Amino acid sequence: MAYADLREFVKRLEKEGELKRIRAEVDPVLEIAEVVQRVCRPSAGDQEKSRLEAGATKDREKSQLEDGATRNTALLFEKPKGSRYPLLINAFGSVRRMALAFEVEKLDEVAERIQGFLKMETPQGFFDKVKMLPKLAELGSFFPKSVKTGPCKEVIQKGSDVNLFDFPILKCWPQDGGRFITFPLVFTKNPETGKRNVGMYRMQVYDERTTGMHWQTQKHGAEHFRRARAKNPEGRIPVSVVIGADPATALSGMLPIPPDLDEMMFAGFLRREPVEMAPCETNDLEVPANAEIVLEGYVNLNEMRTEGPFGDHTGFYSLEGEYPVFHVECVTRRKEPIYLTTVVGPPPQEDFFMGYAVERVFLPVMKMQYPEIVDVAMPAEGIFHNLMIVAIRKSYPGHARKIMNAIWSLGQAMFTKVIVVVDHDVNIHNYSELVWKTLCALDPERDVQFSLGPMDTLDHAARMQDFGSKMGIDATRKWASEGFTRPWPDEILMDEATKKRVDALWKSLSLEK
């Protein structure tokens, strides 16, 4: 049975020893973020240790940043200063909790389910295949279901009763421009097709009823805004924002899925039960009926306002920029809503584990289109878009370069700043092996390729916002057919017969502790 709502997930986390309640009063202005830092990030030494362990066991999931002194758990702050409502944070901040969110033992199970669907007879081509999902979903009845009302309507507040400061909204870092809603699901409709989009875009609170809307230029919410503005620059678009829902639904806003593929359908697929959608009170959007908090309102198409700075997941502040403005006209909520939030900052933070799950879950989709891809890794320090390591089964000259170009054209992977392509026999989750073999395989001038393209808005080093250069490193063995005519040496490995002989001798050498 799917989690009915966020509070069921809280109960499950608690039962699994994955959640701590904090009864002391803690200030959502800076203090909560600092507490989270001490729980979710081990000291540098521990990090190095866990990395070495992970490398030794070929398993990145082992480097879960479990730290001796403070255990990495979800935190439920029962008394955030200045608010009547509890605050849930770090709920998804480990591989284990991500697996609990998707109700699986291993994230690979989700990948296998997706693979099962992709294997069904579908037209050729990645997007066609992915677009088949809604059709398959209709058959499998994952499609969202309209209902008249739900727990998200226990309390309805309109007009001057609306006050965002009722909620324990975080200020995360000292130079942040204000308090930010960090875990919202932003609902809009494509003004041309009427299709829904749901995205997780942070919202800076300007006053009781106004926030920023941080739609980065390549994101689907931004596209809805632009299309509506092109039709009627003086108009407005309806926007509703959900804070807190069952885990699959809450996470669906960050999924890098194609435009016009409904995130709520995908959430239904993930939770194996349709998401029930209730109509909003003041606009024509629908929101998950099990939501904790819903903010209904609109964005004016001719209004922009300075947003930021914001301590971002790059580990640096993203600077001020001009973004649309969200006006809240109505709040609907549970009587005692749980305020779901997260902190981003120097990696790794909670969002690393969300990104890691996405990497694992979407790997079969990448492999489907590019079967030569054996594995993909995005290390935490690469903050999703800065570094992607790809292992391929190389079968023709220039194959590594082809994969680089493929990644630079694949959905949000277009943002990838550095791609390293290695042969299939490199364990890319063991960074020490990866760095060693990559460096050994390089003639830098020959093997490094530059390209230009769209950049993540948050990249502060790019020559311009949203546009800059990328680098691909071909660290595969070089072939004669690629102009490399020298012999390529074998990797040093002891032969099995000698190993067996030493195994037999081993005890007599008394070398064990």
Toward ligand FMN, which CB reaches closer, 449 or 465? 465
| 314 is a contact residue toward ligand FMN (CB under 6 A) | no
| 340 is a contact residue toward ligand FMN (CB under 6 A) | no
Selecting among 262, 312, 351, 456, the annotated active-site residue is 312
State the binding partner of 204 from ligand FMN, Mn ion, none, CB within 5 to 8 A by kind.
none
User: 3-class DSSP state for residue 127?
Assistant: helix
Place of tokens 């007879």: 121
| Among positions 275, 295, 344, 363, the unique one binding ligand FMN when judged by CB under 6 A | 344
| 72 is a contact residue toward ligand FMN (CB under 6 A) | no
Measured distance CA(34)–CA(41) in Å, rounded? 11
| 172 is a contact residue toward ligand FMN (CB under 6 A) | no
| Among positions 219, 224, 327, 394, the unique one binding ligand FMN when judged by CB under 6 A | 219
C-alpha distances in angstroms, 387 versus 16, 254, 379, 414? 33, 19, 7, 12
Toward Mn ion, which CB reaches closer, 74 or 241? 241
State the binding partner of 288 from ligand FMN, Mn ion, none, CB within 5 to 8 A by kind.
none
- Let me know: does 342 contact 37? Beta carbons within 8 Å: no
Name the minimum Å distance from CB 259 to Mn ion: 6
| Among positions 178, 235, 256, 346, the unique one binding ligand FMN when judged by CB under 6 A | 256
Toward ligand FMN, which CB reaches closer, 308 or 472? 308
- Let me know: does 180 contact 313? Beta carbons within 8 Å: no
| 221 is a contact residue toward ligand FMN (CB under 6 A) | yes
Name the minimum Å distance from CB 197 to Mn ion: 5
Name the minimum Å distance from CB 438 to ligand FMN: 28
H helical segments located in 166-245? 220-231
| Among positions 412, 423, 442, 477, the unique one binding ligand FMN when judged by CB under 6 A | 412
Contacts with ligand FMN in 457-476 (CB under 6 A)? none
Catalytic annotation on 262? no
Written as six digits, the tokens of 19 are 């959640």
Interacting residues of 13 by C-beta distance below 8 A, sequence separation 6+: 19, 73, 74, 91, 97, 100
| 201 is a contact residue toward ligand FMN (CB under 6 A) | yes
Toward ligand FMN, which CB reaches closer, 32 or 400? 32
The mark string for 85-114 relative to ligand FMN (x by CB under 6 A, - otherwise) is ------------------------------
| 215 is a contact residue toward ligand FMN (CB under 6 A) | yes
| 285 is a contact residue toward ligand FMN (CB under 6 A) | no
H helical segments located in 316-407? 350-369, 399-407
Interacting residues of 11 by C-beta distance below 8 A, sequence separation 6+: none
Q: What dihedral do alpha carbons 31, 35, 40, 44 form, nearest 10°?
A: 100
State the binding partner of 187 from ligand FMN, Mn ion, none, CB within 5 to 8 A by kind.
none
Interacting residues of 82 by C-beta distance below 8 A, sequence separation 6+: 27, 28, 165, 168
Measured distance CA(288)–CA(340) in Å, rounded? 15
| 247 is a contact residue toward ligand FMN (CB under 6 A) | no
Closest CA to 459 of 289, 321, 333: 321
Contacts with Mn ion in 207-236 (CB under 5 A)? 220
Toward ligand FMN, which CB reaches closer, 235 or 256? 256
DSSP secondary structure, 282-333, as one string: SSS-EEETT-SEEEEEEEEEEEEEEE--EE-TTSSEEPPEEEEEEEEEEEEE
C-alpha distances in angstroms, 80 versus 85, 174, 244, 351? 7, 18, 17, 22
| Among positions 90, 211, 290, 342, the unique one binding ligand FMN when judged by CB under 6 A | 342
| 202 is a contact residue toward ligand FMN (CB under 6 A) | yes
Measured distance CA(296)–CA(330) in Å, rounded? 5
| 348 is a contact residue toward ligand FMN (CB under 6 A) | no
Name the minimum Å distance from CB 251 to ligand FMN: 9
Interacting residues of 161 by C-beta distance below 8 A, sequence separation 6+: 331
The mark string for 371-410 relative to Mn ion (x by CB under 5 A, - otherwise) is ----------------------------------------
C-alpha distances in angstroms, 294 versus 182, 337, 345, 405? 14, 10, 26, 41
Toward Mn ion, which CB reaches closer, 196 or 437? 196
Measured distance CA(399)–CA(373) in Å, rounded? 11
Name the minimum Å distance from CB 348 to ligand FMN: 13
Residue nearest to Mn ion (CB): 220
Interacting residue ranges for Mn ion, rule: CB under 5 A: 197, 220
Binding site for ligand FMN (CB under 6 A): 182, 197, 199-202, 214-216, 219-221, 253-256, 342, 344, 351, 354, 412
Catalytic site positions: 312
